[in-house]
Structure 1
Amino acid sequence: MNDVGDEGSNAAQLASPSYRLAALDSEYILSDSMRGVRFMMEYDKAEQALRAWGVRSTIVVFGSARIGENGDGEHRRWYAEARAFGRLASERGGAMLSPNGQPRDNVIATGGGPGIMGAANRGAADVGAPSIGFNITLPHEQAPNPWSTPELTFRFHYFAMRKMHLAMRANALVVFPGGFGTFDELFEILTLRQTDKSPRIPIVLFDETYWRSVINFDVLVGHGMIRAEDLELFHFAEDAEGVWAALLAGGLKPHESIE
């Protein structure tokens, strides 16, 4: 009842946007002035879920969303090896929660979409390990693949916050063939490494022939755009076992080795 007797009806006051609880006022929360708060919320929501699952560190896997399991030739091979890597890294890296409750290490984390990312999440699911999907809202909506752990499947509005979550726990980066989005993540991490703004994590590019055909790293050196020693920031591998070996050689520690 909105009838307040002789004082008249307060229906207009109750219906006013100013009367809504701030936390329940979507118009207010989505306003320009609240952008910083939304940015913080995107950080904290994922942070709380990852902590609840005991995720201490990740192995980030990126690659094209356009590569399918039933693709032709090299596409099929790339998908199969990404799935195989997701499986073996989950088994050997420490993604399974140990009986004594140690945190999970080297959990597979992807951009959450289909293709190579779905293959890596699928490999983890093959052995019953959790994996993470950091999805992003796009004009043509990206749907999460069905293999990332549901409770660890996130969606971000801000690319910057998504990138932060991808990078902040990463013990390693594995990059399969891909396009602009894959390049973006690769060069983001390479820049952080080159400038010592991130730990010295190993970076492995899958299929050297592909990467050398699309990026002439030596020309960058020749023009003085990067130093010759910057080429040591990453290595190449040709199969899932080779990726794992390169990560270990680059300093990756399996779960049992982390104190």
Structure 2
Amino acid sequence: MASPSYRLPALDQDFILGDSTRGLRFLLEYQKAEEALRQWRIRSTIVVFGSARIREDGKPKHARWYAEARAFGRIASERGGARDLVGGHRDNVIATGGGPGIMEAANRGAVDAGAPSIGFNITLPREQEPNAYSTPELTFRFHYFAMRKMHLAMRANALCVFPGGFGTFDELFELLTLSQTGKAPRIPVVLVDRDYWTTVVDLDRLIEEGMIAEADRTLFDYAESAEEAWAILARKPLGAHRAPPADTAGA
């Protein structure tokens, strides 16, 4: 009875955390967040990406980005319907990576509007810990980037991206690739601060070298403020979501 083989599998940490059960851990990371989102009747989200290193009291440009991200979180929550259940569902709930910086600002804006918001955190060596503004019952932690990305993408009605680094680029290009290749329905994408994005990503060179098509420019728009970003998104069909309701959604 003292042998490890006699332990109940669900109570055996050596077994649960072993190589052969990685698929099971993937499933658990999907299922735990999914059940909470369904309990809250969250059918769709508006995802906000941006740097974790930006601070409200940072240098002027960073402080402006923080303020605009906070304003966007408030505006989207007020005008997108996240505060209320409509037809038994909640749409356009702000979802972020859950950490500091731009993510904190967007979750904070949702709080300003009196709306719930989601924080999809991930375990990292530095920078990542839950901010104080995502709804506690909707604040998750992931080990696997792939599962975190799946949850960020699967309910997304729109994407608003503020300046950021590798992590922001990773998430942005993941969703742009899904749209470009038709692996997911196209959603509106807004990049805030045209000067930043056109400086760090040379689309003209990519097109010149044949790496992307001229038509790929239409996968996103630029905005300079929260109000302008919302105006762009509001021209799109943000009411209902492309997927079935959260209580019946399939894979």
Output the TM-score relative to the length of structure 1.
0.90
Give the fraction of aligned pairs with identical amino acids, expressed as a percent: 70
* CA separation of 1:252 and 1:116: change in aligned 2, threshold 3 A: farther
- Report the counterpart of residue 141 of structure 2 in structure 1: 155
Q: Map of 1:1-259 to 2, 5 A cutoff? A: 13=1, 15-98=2-85, 102-140=88-126, 142-249=128-235, 251-254=236-239
Aligned partner letter, 2:89: P
Larger radius of gyration: 1
**Distance across 2 between alignment mates of 1:234 and 1:201:** 9
Contact 1:110-1:117 at 8 Å conserved across structures: yes
Contact 2:99-2:127 at 8 Å conserved across structures: no
- After TM superposition, give the deviation of residue 185 of structure 1 in Å: 0.6
Contact 2:100-2:127 at 8 Å conserved across structures: no
**Distance across 1 between alignment mates of 2:199 and 2:127:** 31
- With 115-124 and 15-24 compared, the bigger mean Cα shift is at 15-24
Contact 1:174-1:206 at 8 Å conserved across structures: yes
**Distance across 2 between alignment mates of 1:82 and 1:246:** 15
4+ residue stretches of structure 1 with deviation over 3 A?
A: none
- After TM superposition, give the deviation of residue 141 of structure 1 in Å: 6.4
- After TM superposition, give the deviation of residue 147 of structure 1 in Å: 0.3
- Report the counterpart of residue 10 of structure 1 in structure 2: none
Contact 1:92-1:254 at 8 Å conserved across structures: no
CA-based RMSD of the aligned residues comes to 1.5
**Distance across 1 between alignment mates of 2:233 and 2:204:** 23
User: What is the CA deviation profile of residues 55-89 of structure 1, one whole-angstrom value per residue up to 9, with x for unaligned ones?
Assistant: 00000000000001111111011000000000010
Please state whether the residue corresponding to 2:94 is helix, strand or coil: strand
User: What is the CA deviation profile of residues 134-188 of structure 1, one whole-angstrom value per residue up to 9, with x for unaligned ones?
Assistant: 0111123621001000110011111000000000000001100000000001100
**Distance across 2 between alignment mates of 1:45 and 1:87:** 27
Aligned partner letter, 1:177: P
How many pairs align? Answer: 242
Output the TM-score relative to the length of structure 2.
0.93
- With 239-248 and 139-148 compared, the bigger mean Cα shift is at 139-148
* CA separation of 1:201 and 1:26: change in aligned 2, threshold 3 A: same
**Distance across 1 between alignment mates of 2:142 and 2:239:** 29
Please state whether the residue corresponding to 2:146 is helix, strand or coil: helix
